[in-house]
Chains A and B, each alone.
Chain A
Amino acid sequence: MLGILRQKAVDGALSASTFRRTRSALVSARSYAAGSKEMTVRDALNSAIDEEMSADPKVFVMGEEVGQYQGAYKITKGLLEKYGPERVYDTPITEAGFTGIGVGAAYAGLKPVVEFMTFNFSMQAIDHIINSAAKSNYMSAGQINVPIVFRGPNGAAAGVGAQHSQCYAAWYASVPGLKVLTPYSAEDARGLLKAAIRDPDPVVFLENELLYGESFPISEEALDSSFCLPIGKAKIEREGKDVTITTFSKMVGFALKAAEKLAEEGISAEVINLRSIRPLDRATINASVRKTSRLVTVEEGFPQHGVCAEICASVVEESFSYLDAPVERIAGADVPMPYAANLERLALPQVEDIVRAAKRACYRSK
């Protein structure tokens, strides 16, 4: 039976993740003891925060609607009942206020997890994030450390317009002193959020609203409360040998779909889920490009000074002689996000854009 499934995968009808899911479905149909479970990103984040709050009484959650409303996106569901209003704090509407308070609490030794309803609103608090949280350890010569996590949805959702759709990965990742993480799957969400909460440095944790409801298979290891992913390590979601596609967050799903389509045409794409934008796993990216000789880098955010620009620079600097084609960069359109559905679709990278870029890199199209 497994042999048949493997055959199907080679034919390109199944992607790696579908393969795993089908296999697990078949296996779990036989017995619940064996086989992997599935978990939504929302539940993954919720369980991560719950476990870290349980393990360390200094951890507390703060943000708009995180308590009684169970979280604007239900990420903090059930936490208020479990930990009480002192540790799950509903704030008045002031990003500048509660970010400043979070930073002050972190200065004094607590471990706040500050939620922004969307990172677009974090701009009202960005001075606290950058001038206080990011730079304090350095400016105080190690006397003030800021073990704070800023989390919330980032990037485009669906039909929310210009002020609710910007991706802040490039902005925050340009600042020394911050760590910037971008989970994709449920395992990423759990492992990276737990690592972020435990980390003594300030971490900007960029989630994605559209991924919250998506289910992913999750291993027993990932469900353990001590599970943690290393910060600064990318994950190779799909191995390949013809072209390297790097991306993060929701675009990982698109890249995997693109890889399936490319496989149908005989192009074997290696998909790298960056997981961490700062520190950027340049080693993994470059090792992959040295293997495939071609790079397509994808992001949702604005193209100028984006994450892709940094990756291209890194690859050109470190692996120039390995490149067989110019580096390809796919990013969101250089316009504030329009609202109309057709325009929104045109403003964001789609699977076809990634496929075309990969083919260009492989000299298979213009």
Chain B
Amino acid sequence: MAIWFARSRNLVSSLRQNLGWSAILIKRDNSPRPVVFTTSTAFFGPVGSHRHESTAVEKQPDFVQQRDEEDALELDFPGGKVGYTSEMKFIPESPSRRIPCYRVLDENGRIIPDSDFIPVSEKVAVKMYEQMATLQVMDHIFYEAQRQGRISFYLTSVGEEAINIASAAALSPDDVVLPQYREPGVLLWRGFTLEEFANQCFGNKADYGKGRQMPIHYGSNRHNYFTVSSPIATQLPQAAGVGYSLKMEKKNACAVTFMGDGGTSEGDFHAGLNFAAVMEAPVVFICRNNGWAISTHISEQFRSDGIVVKGQAYGIRSIRVDGNDALAVYSAVRSAREMAVKEQRPVLIEAMTYRVGHHSTSDDSTKYRAADEIQYWKMSRNPVNRFRKWVEDNGWWSEEDESKLRSNTRKQLLQAIQAAEKWDKQPLTELFNDVYDVKPKNLEDQEVGLKALIEKQPQDYPPGFHV
């Protein structure tokens, strides 16, 4: 065996001199892997050939020296210098250990000793809790309203209240938010009222969206929250564009965009992240990994270790955070935001969580997942309860505050719904407005024609039809 190695090394070195590059397959003993041998690299086999090292060194000193020199060299390729290795090693498909999740509060709402986190004042903490609870009540009541047939559609954020509110609390009001659709809490934090939410869901005259969109497609320029757009992940490259625009105008603000685990499969995810990195745009990408994309579980969505590992693939700094830990989300988003703005770079946050509710009112998730799985997350891993424990432990919240908040919010919502239902719908002219900046002649003519038709044939239109 040893002789064979020595002979083969000589063979190889003579081949190297004569032929330059060539590939010879030599099996290393003790190694299950085949070795692709190129003559420009030296062959120092495993244990068996160490006996020959001294021989090799003496016999071919130049050879050995060359290898050291070659080791010190790097290869020049487009994209920069890269070191090389003679060991053929494939990067494994997943890291040996999953990227850990950053959390600050344990399940009992106690701060884990020695946690890094950005402290939150009593005022902010109480507001955060109140808004998380408000979001819960809002989701519950609007969901019921849909079930009663009062609105056509609704989509809850149950289980993701911490992501919604804590991320919003960590941003500045100048940061431009491009949501997917499960982030109404961000708008709630920024000051959108329950009445305004109700008006959009009812598509009435007071709706800022002028009755043009389905429920939950909120949007408000005033609050720097872009109108929800249904196609998945289109907001990601758009966020890179917004970030680029903020960069060009040198604003102290960043773009913040949300997506679900499913959205990361879209081509736009690749384009958005890649571009933001290349353009060095100040964008914070927040992925709500809630385990489900309608009925598609994450095991069928991707095979990577979640989304956080994808950040490095684009040259983007990333972090995995416990999405049900309001303090951790707050700290992570706040830090990411600072990095994005100060260093003019994109940052990726993967917030781990669970979608407790159905995908929407058009879905019944008990058809594809176990009811006790849902119960477990709803009761034992509830982000609102967890944060409540922390706030209460600090003496900033009480049972009395809780019942007052819940009953007041519920009352306010029921009133908002009743009022929203009673509001008139949009007048007919809004059918034809905003297609373009200035209404074109053909639409003006159609509007006049339609009004005349309604007047002429009122029996064909619902009574009290609003012209």
Binding site for B on A (CB under 8 A): 60, 86, 89, 91-92, 94, 96-110, 112, 127-128, 131-132, 136-145, 176-177, 179, 199-201, 232, 279
> Does B234 lie within 8 Å of A131, measured CB to CB?
yes
A142's contact among B229, B275, B433, by CB below 8 Å, is which? Answer: B433
The contact size tier of chain B is 35 or more
Contact A100 B437, CB 8 Å, known A143-B208, A143-B219: no
> Does B274 lie within 8 Å of A92, measured CB to CB?
yes
> Does A105 lie within 8 Å of B237, measured CB to CB?
no
Contact A101 B219, CB 8 Å, known A91-B275, A141-B209, A200-B437: no
Contacts of B221 in A (CB 8 A): 143-144
Besides A128-B237, A144-B219, 6 new A-B residue pairs in contact (Cβ under 8 A), listed by A number: A97-B240, A100-B234, A105-B244, A139-B217, A140-B212, A141-B208
> Does A138 lie within 8 Å of B434, measured CB to CB?
yes
A132 CB, min distance to chain B CBs, angstroms: 6
Q: Does chain A have a CB within 8 A of B442?
A: yes
Contacts of A144 in B (CB 8 A): 219, 221, 226-227
Residue among A104, A176, A201 with the most chain B CB within 10 A?
A104
Contact A100 B245, CB 8 Å, known A92-B275, A201-B437: no
Q: Does chain A have a CB within 8 A of B248?
A: yes
Q: Which residue of A lies closest to B251 (CB)?
A: A108
B49 CB, min distance to chain A CBs, angstroms: 47
Q: Compute how far the CA of A138 lies from the CA of B212 in the bound complex, rounded to whole angstroms.
A: 7
Contact A232 B440, CB 8 Å, known A104-B237, A106-B241: yes
Q: Compute how far the CA of A288 lies from the CA of B328 in the bound complex, rounded to whole angstroms.
A: 70
A97's contact among B208, B219, B243, B275, by CB below 8 Å, is which? Answer: B275
Contacts of B430 in A (CB 8 A): 141
> Does A279 lie within 8 Å of B440, measured CB to CB?
yes
Contacts of A279 in B (CB 8 A): 440-442
Contacts of A140 in B (CB 8 A): 209, 212, 219, 227, 434
Q: Which residue of B lies closest to A144 (CB)?
A: B227
Task: Tell which of B38-46, B264-272, B366-374, B384-392 binds the partner.
Answer: B264-272
Contacts of B207 in A (CB 8 A): 141
Contact A100 B237, CB 8 Å, known A137-B435, A141-B434, A177-B435: yes
B216 CB, min distance to chain A CBs, angstroms: 13
> Does B437 lie within 8 Å of A97, measured CB to CB?
no
Q: Compute how far the CA of A185 lies from the CA of B136 in the bound complex, rounded to whole angstroms.
A: 61
Contacts of A60 in B (CB 8 A): 248
A108's contact among B234, B235, B245, by CB below 8 Å, is which? Answer: B245
Contact with A along B358-371 (1 / 0, CB 8 A): 00000000000000
Q: Which residue of A lies closest to B212 (CB)?
A: A139
Contacts of A199 in B (CB 8 A): 437
Q: Compute how far the CA of A104 lies from the CA of B272 in the bound complex, rounded to whole angstroms.
A: 11
B172 CB, min distance to chain A CBs, angstroms: 16
> Does A139 lie within 8 Å of B241, measured CB to CB?
no
> Does A107 lie within 8 Å of B242, measured CB to CB?
yes
Contacts of B245 in A (CB 8 A): 104-105, 108-110
